[in-house]
Amino acid sequence: MKLIEFSGDHLDVLRELMNIAVGNATASIADLLKAFGTMHIPKITISDITGLKQYIQDTIPSENSHYVTKQLFGGPLGGEFIFVITDESAINLGNHLYDIDAPNDADIYDAVIELTNILSATMISRLTEELNVKVQFFVPSTQIIKGNDLIDLDEAQGYVQVIIISTQMEFQNQNINGHIFILTKDAMIQSLKDLIDQKLEELYA
């Protein structure tokens, strides 16, 4: 299968649109937490599946346990939204959202899912709005993973090429820090490229 190439202009458009999307998401979470968050510029990487595993291992510390929430989205643009937060940050999140000292496991799961829903809805919706398409979100699922082996090889089978959009959500005063990955693959990469081409045509018209 021929790999799809993105030009500098394609990457610039994607980075800028994601920058806007991350700005919106940070503001939404800041409202939820009544706190100020640090925005991190999204990194865009095009890789094969081995590169994805390596990227995640380089980004996520191996010594922690993590709440990993995955949510699929589909439509003219499809992919997977992954939110990764350490167990310590997840407890702080539950603590902060429910205003209780020792949130139970159900509260923590609920808080992580809620945060992921807001993040994915805000970021993906903002991105797709800019690209003039609509997507459908599927129910997210959360699991606790020890270390940083977040990608299941069975899940990854058949992936030829992956676009990794990664950023960080950081609320320093609340000690809440999470990583966000948006993965899109194969045919959807071509869809994304086509949508960006349309955006560029509008710009140069």
Partner 1 sequence: MKILVADDSKLARLSLMKIVKELEPSCEVIEADNGQIAIEKFQENSPSIVFLDLTMPIIDGYEALTQILEINPKAQVVVVTADIQSQAQAQVMALGAKMVIPKPISSEKMQTVLQQLVF
Residues that bind partner 1 (CB under 8 A): 9, 12-13, 15-17, 19-20, 22-24, 26-27, 30, 36-37, 39, 41, 130, 199, 203-204
Token couple for 182: 């948006």
Shortest distance in whole angstroms from residue 123 CB to partner 1: 11
Q: Which is nearer to partner 1, 37 or 140 (CB)?
A: 37
Give 160-199 as a DSSP string. Answer: --EEEEEEEEEEGGGTEEEEEEEEEEHHHHHHHHHHHHHH
Q: Which is nearer to partner 1, 16 or 152 (CB)?
A: 16
Q: Which is nearer to partner 1, 9 or 110 (CB)?
A: 9
Shortest distance in whole angstroms from residue 23 CB to partner 1: 3
Task: Tell me the CA distances in angstroms from 55 to 43, 85, 149, 191, 197, one per residue in order.
Answer: 11, 16, 11, 23, 27
Shortest distance in whole angstroms from residue 30 CB to partner 1: 5
CA distance 22 to 174: 19
Please compute, for residue 192, the number of CA atoms within 13 A of its CA located in the half-sphere on the CB side.
30
Q: Which is nearer to partner 1, 104 or 198 (CB)?
A: 198
Shortest distance in whole angstroms from residue 153 CB to partner 1: 36
Please compute, for residue 29, the number of CA atoms within 13 A of its CA located in the half-sphere on the CB side.
33
Q: Which is nearer to partner 1, 15 or 193 (CB)?
A: 15
CB atoms within 10 A of CB 172: 11
Shortest distance in whole angstroms from residue 147 CB to partner 1: 32
